[in-house]
Structure 1
Amino acid sequence: MRGKARVFLTFDVEDPVTPLSDDAVLWLAAMLRERGVPAAFFLTGDKARALVRRKRLDVFEALRTHDIGYHTNHHSTHPTVAEYLEPHDWAGGVAEVVARERSGADLIRELTGRRLCGFATPGTSWGPQIPGALTGLDIPAHLHSFSRTGGGHNPHWYAGTLCFARSEAVGPVEDILPDPLRFAALLEELPGLLERAARSEDGVLHLYVGHPTIFVNREFWDGINYAAGRNPDPEAPIRAPEPRPVAQTRTMLDNLAHLVDVVRACPSAEFVGFGEVVADRRRAPVLHAGWFGRALAEAAAGPGIATTSRVLSPAQLLYAMCREVLGHDVERDGPVPEVHGPVDRPDGTVATGAPARVGRDRLLELAADVCRAGDATGALPVLARATGGVAVPVASLYRSLLDLTADGAAGVRALRSPPESVPLVEAPELPEVGDEISEHFARRVRRWLHRPDLDVDELTRLTRAQTWTLRATAAA
């Protein structure tokens, strides 16, 4: 066993409709505080404004011992995140996220007096520009991301932000708490989940409890008011969800308290705050002597484009290899800057411009083109270009440069002194997990929350492209 599983709890606090849902936040925060267990509560801007209107500043006070996160400004109000990102390219989408979300994030910071610990995806409304924009919002992490490395790493880096995969969370636990049989099954399964987390490379387990509103309501406030792209009639009262019987609310709260106590008593687990996990995993990996050579050897050992390095994403590795070809000392330069995957659309010259081999001079030009794009835009080009009409897909250049390398320092020397002629190999356009992530997103985003005619083709393309930015995290 590597150590104890580090278990963190999260809630999405989003219901601006039901006053009793305000009390549910108080009950949950108090129950956990009494047990010395931290949790992360992700609030929407609409919920924060509703609490102010209802003079429920006691809710903000109750959350002061817990982490505070952000769950979008308007959640299910149309246009939702995916809907407002629909018409945008990468840069336009990043700017749109910052413009639409800044006021909500600033309001919650002002009302709580706290730095936000992360941004939680609202339902299935997501786009890769969300993690791409979080630096501009001063938010350090992204929860419920559709990204994952393919190597079982949670958390991981994607689009320049520390991300936690929604597919790796246990829950929502709220679905299980009212059902005696399902709750008993969860308690039976829990020791195994904790043991596996303790033995895993990452050592974390995300218990996604769910939504305080579901502790007092049978249905979601937004499902009955915002489905299929429709906003409520502003002249009519907004519909309130069907309330849950008081006895069932009590059962859910008691069962959650029991679940927390079981985890607390487990010798292979400990509760930690989400903010603590984020701070730990955002620390830069220690770069011991020879780190670049080891990164090259790790990437070259497998086929395709590897995403499980704890030091460099594939995009960073290609940028670093190109700098080495151009005569820079990457190891001496230190940490490689974040580099995004190709954000521009292919222009149709992939098949006609790529030769079977390039000479050393052309290789230097290709490397210079990659570095020029990375420095100017922060992203890889779709094609690396050289004189004479040479246009090489970046995935082909990535594998071709890796094929020049050998283990350790020999690989670095091969990049610094390439042969007179270098073969260009065909390679998959993306990491293997790219199609899995984009297909999962495209399937789930077409659910009740969005307009039936929502076009996610561009969001899906950008989602695939940013799998070039995937890498695992290193615990401090």
Structure 2
Amino acid sequence: MPRKAQVFLTFDVEDPVTPASDDAVVWLADLLREKGVSAAFFVTGDKARALVGRRRLDVIEALRGHDIGYHTNHHSTHPTVAEYLESYGWADGVAEVVRRERSGADLIRDLSGQQLCGFATAGTSWGPQVPGALADLNIPAHVHSFSRTGGSHNPHWYAGALCFARSEAIGPVEDDLQDPARFADLIGRLPQIIRRAARSQDRVLHLYIGHPTIFVNQEFWDGLNYASGRNPEPGTDLAAPPPRSSASTRTMLNNLAQLVDAVRAVPEAEFVALSDLVASRRTTPAFPQGWFATALSEAAGPDIRTTSRLLSPAQLLYTLCRAIQGEDVDRAGPGGEVLGPVEHPEPAEQADHPTWLDDKQLRKVAESVCRTVAATGALPTLARTDGIAVPVATLYGSLLDLVTRRPVDTLSSLPGRMPLSARTELPPIADEISEHYARRVRRWMHRPDLNVTELTRLTRAQTWSLRAAVAA
């Protein structure tokens, strides 16, 4: 029996302008239902309101049997997600996401009578506070996240949420469905893509089909109306994109049907509903006796590693500090999710620190970390005690050095002094994620003067919270 890739399909349902895009949703939902495939349709609040206004609740009815997700309240209308988060820090940014997005999410839940399967990033507009807000929005996962673990883990945990990396999705496939040469190339590559996914640790393959509006229109509705910060006056009619010919629409639908058949023809593939995939990855991992030693061995090395299937670096540092406080962590378990540092250190505080800590200082430093996590759910930037401010990366690396030299179960009886050595502040993946984010976010859907300095800082800091998601 070959290992199978778990293939899931997604669509972004966002066009409130053209009534034909409503029909496209129905056609796509019906086509896939006839094929026995359940896809995930991520709907915007504005699209849901347009369906109500046009009396097209048959579109929502057509989605029964499929997963329904959330695709932001207003998508490309300014301020977009990144624009409204531009000047916020962590806690106030999370609160702002909840304030702006709750009404759209609640409307879609009410119309569909379904729980939402996830939150899909709108275009390139994102901030790390979005996954941080999902628990408050009662949304179990985040699709098209800019996060990734660096270990080809998809899905993964980031900022306290189960996330699927934008970089790991294949698509949008709509670009291939309308071009014969590109479609033939995709069909030719598909068996290799599936087999590669089946051999991976996570066996997940995300086929991002795209947007129902592109099945009936030649361009995107939002680029015509909102590019580069443009915001039409409320009440004015939005420009409609030029329609696609009915023959071209039929070609795209037929090619999608062929794509489904081509996936089914590969023995290593199986279609799964996104909601089932999310449920299997949101289970609490098992922590058998000795799990702490295993987690420490996974973390050993010169860099802050994010590929553990047990703990994020933030969770592991918190667990180490609890062990220093005398807690039997092997029995108690690691506790809940822990965020990366979200605070700004005081400008007057320097990252300078002594070359070692005595046992009393180390206990106090560990206590300060535990106190901050208990109060905020996040690591401090600097662990402070008696006028000493130790960067958490230095504390983390120094503690890992310590436990490699002595048995794990003796952390409650510390040496007279522990050497401190400077460490890189963040996991190496932080540079890759922030570069990808900064490059992508500069595209058409934002004001040209958008400043993502603080969003990038928080994005980088939350790489401390990364870990792979474990399947049930």
Per-residue Cα deviation, 1:399-454 (whole angstroms, up to 9, x for no partner): 000011139xx542242222101000111100000011011111111111011111
Residue 140 of structure 1 pairs with residue 140 of structure 2? yes
Q: Which string of whole-angstrom CA distances, capped at 9 and with x for unpartnered residues, describes residues 297-353 of structure 1? A: 1101x2210101111100000000000011011111124221111101133456464
Displacement of 1:178 in angstroms is 0.9
- Between the aligned partners of 1:177 and 1:101, the Cα distance in structure 2 is 32
Q: Which residue of 2 aligns with 1:456?
A: 452
Contact 1:121 1:143 in 2 (8 A): yes
- Correspondence 1:21-420 to 2 at 5 A: 21-234=21-234, 236-300=236-300, 302-348=301-347, 351=350, 353-387=352-386, 389-406=387-404, 411-420=407-416
8 Å contact 1:297–1:411 — kept in the other structure? no
Secondary structure of the structure 2 residue equivalent to 1:142: strand
- Give secondary structure in 2 for the equivalent of 1:77: coil
Q: What SS class does the counterpart of residue 65 from structure 1 fall into?
A: coil
Q: How does 1:424-439 map to 2 (within 5 A)?
A: 424-439=420-435
Contact 1:307 1:313 in 2 (8 A): yes
What letter corresponds to residue 392 of structure 1 in structure 2? V
The code of the aligned residue for 2:374 comes to: D
How many residues in Structure 1 have an aligned counterpart in Structure 2? 472
- With structure 1 as the length reference, what TM-score do the two structures score? 0.97
CA deviation vs aligned residue, 1:15-48 (integer Å, no higher than 9, x gap)? 0000000000000000000010010000000000
Does the CA contact (< 8 Å) of 1:7 and 1:207 recur in 2? yes
Letter in 2 for 1:438: S
2:285 aligned partner, one-letter code: P
Q: Distance in 2 between matches of 1:93 and 1:351?
A: 27
Q: Is the 8 A contact 2:156 2:466 kept in 1?
A: yes
- Aligned amino acid, residue 17 of structure 1: V
Instruction: Tell me if structure 1 keeps the 8 A contact 2:216–2:243.
Output: yes
Instruction: Show CA shifts across 1:157-212 (max 9, x none).
Output: 00000000000000000011111111010011000010011111000100000000
Taking structure 2 as the reference length, what is the TM-score of the superposition?
A: 0.98
- Partner of 2:63, secondary structure, is helix
Matched letter for residue 295 of structure 1: A
Aligned pair in 2 of structure 1 residues 352, 44: CA closer, same or farther (>3 Å)? closer
User: Unaligned 5+ residue runs, structure 1?
Assistant: none
Structure 2, unaligned stretches of length 5 or more? none
CA RMSD of aligned residues (A): 1.2
Secondary structure of the equivalent of 1:64? coil
CA distance, structure 1, for counterparts of residue 407 and residue 254 of structure 2: 59
Aligned equivalents of 2:139, 2:6: Cα separation in 1: 22
Kept in 2: contact 1:225–1:238 (CA 8 A): yes
Summarize the Cα distance change of 1:270–1:342 in structure 2 as closer, same or farther, 3 Å threshold: same
8 A contact 2:2–2:267 mirrored in 1: no
Aligned equivalents of 1:229, 1:209: Cα separation in 2: 27
Question: 2-side partners of 1:290 and 1:298: how far apart?
Answer: 13
1:144 offset after TM fit, Å? Answer: 0.2
- Mapped to 2, the partners of 1:385 and 1:49 lie a distance apart of 50
SS at match of 1:224: helix
